[in-house]
Each structure stands twice: as C-alpha cells, then as structure tokens.
Structure 1
C-alpha cells in the first residue's frame, strides 16, 4: 500500500506539530547554556549539540510513526532511497542556528512532508516564543490554531520585504533596487511564516535555498493565500536529487509578482 493511500494530510500534520513541540523542549533545554558548537565543512555554517540531538529525536519519532516515508534533513547524511518514496520528511532541526547560538528567540524548527515533489503538511515552531505555524494541503494555514492570511498589499512601492541586504543590491534588479523597505530575521522558515501571516508583505532570497529551510514555510504561504515561487517565477519542487531550489520569492500575489518582474 502506498503511503498516500493510508494516511491523511491532517494526520500527517498532527504528527509534525507534536514532533515540533518535542523539538522545542530539547531546544529550550540547551538555549543560553553554551551548547557545544562545530563548524560544518565547505562553509556550510555552524551546528550545535542541540541540532544533532533534535535531529536524532525527530528521525526516530517520525520514522517510527511513518516507516514508509523518506527522510531529508540538514543534519543527516543524504541517502538516495528518499528519491523512491512517495512521501518524504523534509526537516531542519534548527533553522537559524546562528540566532540560537547568540541567544536570540527567532530560530525555529521547520518540519514538512512532501508528496511527489510538493509539500502537503508543514509546521514551523518557534520554541522560545511558543508560536506554532501549521498548514496542510487544501486546509489553510494557522498560527496557534487561528487562520492566517497575507497582508493584502497590492502595490510594490512601500512594501516591507524580508531578506538580507545583499538581495537588495542594484545589480539584481532591472532599473535598480525596488522601492521597498528591507527587513530581516535570521530563520528562512520564520520569514516565510511572517509573510504568510501578513506581518510583512513578502520575503526574498536570491541564493539557492536548501529544501529543509523552505518546504514547510512555502506551504504556509500558499495555504494562507499567497504565492511562493523560485526567483524565476517557477513552481517550487522538492525532494530533488540535489536538495536545493533556485531562490525563493514569496508573499502577497501582487507584491510577489512585482518583485519577480523586477528581478534582472
């Protein structure tokens, strides 16, 4: 029996939200207690003892609950068998590890289930804020159980857009930097969640984005009523052989479309 024949998206989402909260318990135990930190190879950034402990817990908990699903995580060596699975867990144990190390409260746990290349359930949990974003395909998106929607902004001028400063340099844009206000939070998953709930009008990252950073957040945006695509306006597809996508632009449909139209 195929995975999609036996488990509903709602059941999968319940599994993810419970696991996200369990991850938060581990993160809070390590938070501001100087967990051991290592630098990854190839300038891939830091990893902490908390990242690794959460990864082990999630892999066991989620894998035991859904043994037929594939596994893709930032902190687990990749294995090609995930490419043969209909549904795949796509997990970032801690998105925003640098913020976690600094004692900032904007890091998150990003958990998604992808079915045949598209996210069908996703949870983004900020344990220090105790804030849970969740979505399942066709069922809308929520923050702490309440429905969320994008900001509704219809023009680019004056929009508030989340992203790092290099994304807004003139060379990336036709006609120079767009007339928007740049804002920043460290977690890509949190940026997507903030765009989904309308706290900001859009988010952008022009660099190749790892799937585990964005799978859950992209579903949040789409289920809330916004749009999330690659920097070239293509659909986001997940569980790729190389688990990256060509940047992300997400937000209200009008602002998101205007940003993509302006990209050089």
Structure 2
C-alpha cells in the first residue's frame, strides 16, 4: 500500500479516473436525489465503491465522508477523515463535458491536511499538503496577485452578482463559470482566475480538497462572512465560499459586509 497519504490519494484519484472515463459517453442511468434534486449516475456510485474499498483498506482507522455514502457519526470521533466527492460536477459529466473532477481530501482536527483534485479528461492533477505547497502536474501553483475587484476575473454563477449579496456595491468583475466547485477553487489557485465565490451552502466534499490547494497556493479561503472553514462537521456544509489572494479577498469581503 502507498506509504504517504498524498501518494495514496493520487493513486485513488487515478483509479477513479479510469472508472469514470470508462463510463463516460455511455448509458449512465441518471437519477435525481430526493433530498436535494441533484443528479447521480451509475458512474458516481461505481467510483464511490472503488474508492471506499481502496482507501479504507489502506487506512482502516480513518473516518469516511462521501457524497455517495450514507453518513454515520463514526467519522466525528475519528482523528483523520477522508472527505471526498467521487465525481464533482455530475451534471457536466452526464452532459459529456470534460470539466468534472475527483475531489479527495484527508481532514484532521477540522482542517484539510492532504488534497487531490483530478480531472482525468484534461489530465490535470492538482495536489497539496499542509505546509508543503500546491502543484499542478508537478508545477508549483501561486494565486494571482490582482488587488482590486473591478476588472478582476471571477468564477461564480450569474446570481452571485445579484445586488443582495453586495451591500457595498457589486464589483465590476469578468464572470465565468465551471460546474465543479473543486475545479473552480483549483483554477484560482493556478492563477487563471482571480477569485471564486458561491453564496449557496457548499457541501464539504465539494470544497475540502480545493480549499487546501487554494490555501497552499497563497490564497485566503473563507465563507462569505469571512469566517474560517471547518470540516468534518456534524452537518457537513459550509455557508458558501469566498477565495482569492489576501488583498483581493479583503476588498471583496468589504463589499459583502
């Protein structure tokens, strides 16, 4: 078995990619989940089964939090917890796009310590360890240093620029969008975009890995109130996400509060 958690997560992500790409473009048996009307495919479930078997065999003492597994209280008392989304961006996946990802993190004491976000159709492997920096396919990542909101590039849904979210004034930003929250975080970590925001509650499995990759690339990642993100909560959601370099993050936050 792989020795380090990072080596383990990289191997797990590659295995997930092989399964997901094998299903891609074929019949997916898409169903909508009753609790939130989000889609799930047979590929999501197949990847989840494979990841749980592989990761839990390697680290039987780690807790488990996955979008596609029943949640249990056992993880709350575990020292370390796998937090993952077998396929982040399922709608994109089902539509035949290539902007979906496998998002896998190890969380310790509420903070991600190891993270992998892998886009197999783009061959993009984002990795990070706490205190060890972030990389894309071996190349170190650094968030863009844009300081002012106006004119900056933003990854967000269209409704994220509604006036209700910006009492200090809606910034004049160039908005783009990607379905996968994990990928959005990584694109900002890579410096291809200046910031990302979502005001909707975000599931931990969508953002735990990307949050560490962002932080290790020199960015600040909080909720839209400026509060630090904590993971492995009893209810595994955060009240949105705001991520950018520290100067831009502060400027955006000022307009939100």
Structure 1 length as normaliser, TM-score? 0.95
Measured in 2, the distance between the counterparts of 1:242 and 1:229 equals 17
- Residues 1:52 and 2:45 aligned together: yes
Measured in 2, the distance between the counterparts of 1:215 and 1:205 equals 14
Q: Deviations over 1:152-174 (max 9, x none)?
A: 11211111010101111011102
Q: Deviations over 1:2-54 (max 9, x none)?
A: xxxxxx9x811111011001100001101111211111012330000000000
Residues 34 and 101, structure 1, Cα contact 8 Å, conserved in 2: no
Residue 64 of structure 1 is matched in structure 2 by 57
Residue 152 of structure 1 is matched in structure 2 by 145
Residue 176 of structure 1 is matched in structure 2 by 169
- Residues 1:209 and 2:202 aligned together: yes
SS at match of 2:35: helix
Task: Give me the CA root mean square deviation.
Answer: 1.2
Measured in 2, the distance between the counterparts of 1:156 and 1:237 equals 26
Q: How many residues align?
A: 256
Runs of 4+ residues deviating >4 angstroms: none
- Structure 1 residue 178: Cα displacement: 1.2
SS at match of 2:250: helix
Measured in 2, the distance between the counterparts of 1:207 and 1:93 equals 21
Which of 184, 191, 198 aligns to 1:198? It is: 191
Structure 2 residue runs of 5 or longer lacking an equivalent are none
- Residues 1:81 and 2:64 aligned together: no
Residues 162 and 182, structure 1, Cα contact 8 Å, conserved in 2: yes
Residue 224 of structure 1 is matched in structure 2 by 217
SS at match of 2:28: coil
Q: How does 1:130-145 map to 2 (within 5 A)?
A: 130-145=123-138
Residues 168 and 254, structure 2, Cα contact 8 Å, conserved in 1: no
Which of 21, 25, 28 aligns to 2:21? It is: 28
Structure 2 length as normaliser, TM-score? 0.97
- Residues 1:122 and 2:111 aligned together: no
Measured in 2, the distance between the counterparts of 1:233 and 1:257 equals 9
Structure 1 residue runs of 5 or longer lacking an equivalent are 1-7
